[in-house]
Structure formats: structure tokens, C-alpha cells
């Protein structure tokens, strides 16, 4: 079945550092790929998505590229801020009316 694997956490960075969070998936065909973010005490918010190979999703300075050849969707940001401290989830879906399959999530803490 489908699965999503995220790098182990937590991750602690200093403000303005470069961020990479690895995500790989196992699925047949061409699922849609997502990054969701959960700020402390809140629900999940969509951060970005990509629906086909080589698509790049971007939002709030974050980027991720759908790499079919490596089955990856790594999240990057050039300069993190304290306000980026949150839990980040990678997920995949097989389309409308389909469930999301989530990775375990990774906690990011950014120090001033």
C-alpha cells in the first residue's frame, strides 16, 4: 500500500538558517503530494502541494519539487524564522475523494 517516510526529528535551527526536510513516498502511479504544517495548538494547514512530476509547490518561502525518479518531495526554505516553528507533515493522495496518507511528522524549532 501507499506510504510516506519523513526524516527523523526533531530539528532545531538558528534563525536565517537553511532548512531541508526529507520526504519520500511509496505509491504506484502519480499521487498528489502535500506538505501540511501544524502550529502549536492548532489544526493542520496546507503549506504547498504538487500534482504531477516535476511540479514545484511554493508558499511562504517554502518550496518542494515532485521528483518521480527518486519518489521524493523534500521541503526547503532558504532562511527560516522563529515563526516557522511547527510540526511539518508530508502526505500523499490519490485524488479527489481519496484519503491522505501521512508521514509521521517532524517538529521544527527555530531559535532567535
Residues found near other proteins in the complex (CB under 8 A): 4, 32, 34, 36, 42-46, 49, 89, 93-100, 102-105
State the minimum distance, in angstroms, from the CB of residue 111 to other proteins.
23
Cβ-proximal residues to 43 (8 Å cutoff; 6+ apart), any chain: none
Secondary structure (DSSP) of 12-47: EEETT--EEE-EEEE-SS--EEEEEEE-TTS-EEEE
- In the 8-state DSSP scheme, what is residue 78? S
State the minimum distance, in angstroms, from the CB of residue 86 to other proteins.
14
Cβ-based nearer residue to other proteins, 10 or 78: 10
Cβ-based nearer residue to other proteins, 70 or 96: 96
Cβ-based nearer residue to other proteins, 18 or 60: 60
**Could you give the CA distance from residue 30 to residue 59 in angstroms, rounded to a whole number?**
22
Q: What is the CA 28 to chain-centroid distance, rounded?
A: 19
**Which three three-digit cell numbers place residue 89?**
507533515
Cβ-based nearer residue to other proteins, 70 or 97: 97
State the minimum distance, in angstroms, from the CB of residue 37 to other proteins.
11
Amino acid at each position: 500500500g501507499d506510504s510516506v517516510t519523513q526524516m527523523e526529528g526533531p530539528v532545531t535551527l538558528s534563525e536565517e538558517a537553511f532548512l531541508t526536510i526529507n520526504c519520500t513516498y511509496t505509491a504506484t502511479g502519480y499521487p498528489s503530494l502535500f506538505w501540511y504544517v501544524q502550529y502549536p495548538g492548532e489544526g493542520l494547514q496546507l503549506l504547498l502541494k504538487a500534482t504531477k512530476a516535476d511540479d514545484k509547490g511554493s508558499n511562504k518561502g517554502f518550496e518542494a519539487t515532485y521528483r518521480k525518479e527518486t519518489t521524493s518531495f523534500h521541503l526547503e526554505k532558504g532562511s527560516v524564522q522563529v515563526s516557522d516553528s511547527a510540526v511539518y507533515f508530508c502526505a500523499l493522495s490519490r485524488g479527489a475523494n481519496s484519503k491522505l496518507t501521512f508521514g509521521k511528522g517532524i517538529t521544527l524549532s527555530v531559535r532567535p
